Amino acid sequence: MIIPAGAGSVEVARVAERIRYKDDINIEVVIDRADKTLCQAKQKGRNRVEA
């Protein structure tokens, strides 16, 4: 999950809702996927982008 620097809570909530409706999944699944991807990137080293 990407949260732009300086984004307010309302903007972040809108992005999360768009993701949820687009993929027809709930926010818990989105957060779980983001967490797993973050862990994978950390294991592979610093300054990485994973998708």
1-36: b (≥16 Cβ within 10 Å) or e: eeeeeeeeeeeeeeeeeebeeeeeeeeeeeeeeeee
Q: List phi, psi (to 5°) of 13.
A: -65, -40
Q: Can you list the residues of the chain whose pLDDT is less than 70?
A: 1-4, 20-25, 48-51
pLDDT at 38: 84
pLDDT at 23: 60
pLDDT at 21: 66
Tell me the whole-structure pTM to 2 decimals.
Answer: 0.46
- 37 CB burial (10 A radius; 0-12, 13-18, 19+): middle
